[in-house]
């Protein structure tokens, strides 16, 4: 009886709705068979909240004029241990048991948000995209421009699991296109880490639109900003390698106790090989000074050359600077002076050998002259004895 009364009431409500075009129309089962064109459903709850179905098909929950197919707006804020201001919540069968797996599929599985239980992984959350493309996190910047490649996880063949930041086709486990920075303190950073003018220490990789890039490390402490190490048990090998265009130009190698700084010097890579003109005469032209640097408050004594003067004598050891001595100073590589020192020592060695030979010749000549003098002195002595013998004979005859 109660069921018949309920159906009668619903039928009356539906008939009344059909009689007025502006009223909402409700279809329950097969009665009525159609909805009057232009009608909508509006269910008003407490606090003037509304659940509506527009004639366009858009559904609004607590929104009277939904602009999208489904628009949900919170009646009040709900805070959960996992999130604040929760607008909507979806629970699996059995309620909100956190030990129950649950998922929300969008577009027949092209995107899936879920929570799963795995015996090996315990509990974990997941967000999946189309299995043949990738998973992306896209953002709209302050200028309302969509940044499509803000965060991409690739699922393409051998690059599955590769992460790209501002790059839709990551080529490594982490592929970042743009600057990378890690600073020591919170708050705004001023200055530059790469040239030591930053207000905080840190690490950064800088890039330019032209494709240039460089690394900067700033550390205020007394310990070096860059540490290069190898694990115990390593006996020898490279610590740092330097290359230009795929060609090695130098390396820093190590043993168990020291390092060696190497510059490429393979004979097979050289041509026009000839004896150098930079030797003792050039070295004698290099002037050495004592000085201190202007910015050194301790006025620490240094000894060396002046880059501009050395450049006039031996330019191979000098890097020419720019107009501003602070940002582009002239520089000297003292190790480049070693070949000239070697040549000078070899020239001095030749001079020493020449002097030794000359000394040997003089010594031999002196010995010959000493021998001749000894012979002459011996003959003179004999003559003196002979003369003295004749005088003695005369004295006896008298």
Q: DSSP readout, 78-91?
A: --BTTBSS------
Q: Is 22 a residue whose pLDDT tops 50?
A: no
Residue 268: predicted pLDDT: 93
Q: Which residues does residue 60 pair with via DSSP β-bridges, in sequence order? A: 52, 71
Residue 219 and residue 207: Cα distance in Å, rounded? 21
Residue 249: predicted pLDDT: 93
> What mean pLDDT is predicted for residues 230-236?
94
Q: Is 332 a residue whose pLDDT tops 50?
A: yes
> What mean pLDDT is predicted for residues 372-392?
83
Nearest to 311 by CA among 331, 291, 292, 329: 331
Residue 27: predicted pLDDT: 65
Q: Is 165 a residue whose pLDDT tops 60?
A: yes
Which segment of 106-110, 267-271, 341-345 scores lowest on mean pLDDT?
106-110
CA contacts within 13 A on the Cβ side of 33: 0
Residue 171 and residue 163: Cα distance in Å, rounded? 8
Confidence at 9, pLDDT banded by 50, 70, 90? very low
Q: Which of 112 and 287 is assigned the larger pLDDT?
A: 287
Which are the contacts of 36, defined by CB distance < 8 A and separation ≥ 6? 17, 18, 21, 25
Residue 91: predicted pLDDT: 84
Residue 179: predicted pLDDT: 93
Residue 154: alpha-carbon gap to chain centroid: 22
Q: Which of 282 and 1 is assigned the larger pLDDT?
A: 282
Structure-token pair, residue 76: 């009040």
Residue 55: predicted pLDDT: 82
The residue written with tokens 């008939």 in the block is 15
Residue 90 and residue 83: Cα distance in Å, rounded? 14
Confidence at 397, pLDDT banded by 50, 70, 90? low
Residue 394: predicted pLDDT: 64
Confidence at 35, pLDDT banded by 50, 70, 90? low
Q: Which of 214 and 140 is assigned the larger pLDDT?
A: 214
Q: Is 396 a residue whose pLDDT tops 70?
A: no
Residue 16: predicted pLDDT: 46
The residue written with tokens 């086709």 in the block is 169
Which are the contacts of 263, defined by CB distance < 8 A and separation ≥ 6? 249, 250, 335
Residue 202: predicted pLDDT: 95
What 8-state DSSP symbol labels residue 297? T
Q: What is the pLDDT of residues 127-147, one digit of tens each?
A: 887 667 788 888 888 888 888
* In the chain, % of residues over pLDDT 90: 53
Q: Is 234 a residue whose pLDDT tops 70?
A: yes
* 3-class secondary-structure state, position 358: helix
Residue 218 and residue 225: Cα distance in Å, rounded? 6
Mean pLDDT of the chain: 86
Which segment of 95-99, 236-240, 278-282, 287-291 scores lowest on mean pLDDT?
95-99
Q: Which residues does residue 146 pair with via DSSP β-bridges, in sequence order? A: 140
- Note if the pTM is more than 0.75: no
DSSP letter for each residue of 17-57? HHH-TTS----BTTBSSSPPTT--EEEE-GGG-EEEE-TTS
Which segment of 70-74, 99-103, 286-290, 302-306 scores lowest on mean pLDDT?
99-103
Confidence at 18, pLDDT banded by 50, 70, 90? very low
Residue 25: predicted pLDDT: 61
Which are the contacts of 169, defined by CB distance < 8 A and separation ≥ 6? 154, 156, 159
Q: Is 83 a residue whose pLDDT tops 90?
A: no
> What mean pLDDT is predicted for residues 381-392?
79
């Amino acid at each position: 009886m109660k069921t018949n009364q309920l159906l009668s009431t619903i039928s009356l409500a539906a008939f009344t709705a059909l009689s007025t075009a502006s009223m909402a129309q409700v279809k329950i089962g097969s009665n009525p068979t159609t909805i009057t064109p232009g009608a909508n459903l509006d269910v008003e709850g407490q606090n003037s909240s509304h659940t509506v179905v527009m004639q366009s098909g858009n559904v609004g929950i607590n929104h009277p004029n939904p602009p999208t197919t489904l628009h949900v707006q919170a009646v009040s804020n709900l805070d959960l241990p996992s999130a604040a201001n929760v607008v909507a919540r979806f629970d699996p069968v059995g309620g909100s048991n956190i030990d129950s797996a649950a998922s929300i599929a969008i577009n027949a599985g092209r995107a899936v948000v879920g929570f799963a239980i795995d015996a090996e992984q315990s509990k974990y959350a997941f967000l999946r995209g189309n299995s043949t493309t990738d998973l992306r996190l896209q953002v709209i910047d302050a200028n309302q421009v969509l940044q499509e490649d803000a965060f991409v996880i690739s699922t393409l063949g051998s690059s599955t699991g590769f992460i790209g930041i501002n790059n839709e086709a990551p080529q490594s486990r982490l592929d970042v296109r743009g600057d990378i920075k890690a600073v020591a303190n919170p708050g705004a950073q001023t200055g530059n880490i790469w040239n030591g003018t930053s207000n905080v220490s840190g690490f950064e990789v800088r890039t330019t639109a032209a494709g240039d890039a460089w690394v900067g490390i700033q550390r205020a402490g007394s310990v070096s900003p860059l540490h290069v190490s190898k694990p115990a048990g390593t006996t020898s090998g490279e610590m740092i390698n330097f290359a230009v265009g795929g060609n090695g130009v130098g390396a820093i190698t190590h043993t168990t106790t020291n390092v060696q700084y190497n510059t490429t010097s393979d004979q097979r890579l050289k041509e026009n090989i000839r004896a150098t003109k930079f030797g003792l005469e050039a070295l004698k032209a290099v002037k050495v000074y004592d000085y201190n640097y202007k910015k050194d408050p301790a006025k620490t004594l240094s000894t060396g050359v002046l880059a501009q003067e050395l450049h006039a004598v031996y330019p191979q050891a000098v890097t020419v600077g720019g107009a501003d001595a602070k940002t582009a100073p002239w520089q000297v590589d003292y190790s480049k002076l070693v070949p000239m020192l070697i040549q000078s020592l070899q020239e001095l060695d030749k001079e020493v050998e020449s002097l030794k030979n000359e000394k040997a010749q003089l010594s031999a000549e002196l010995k010959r002259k000493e021998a001749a003098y000894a012979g002459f002195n011996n003959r003179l002595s004999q003559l003196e004895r002979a003369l003295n013998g004749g005088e003695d004979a005369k004295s006896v005859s008298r």
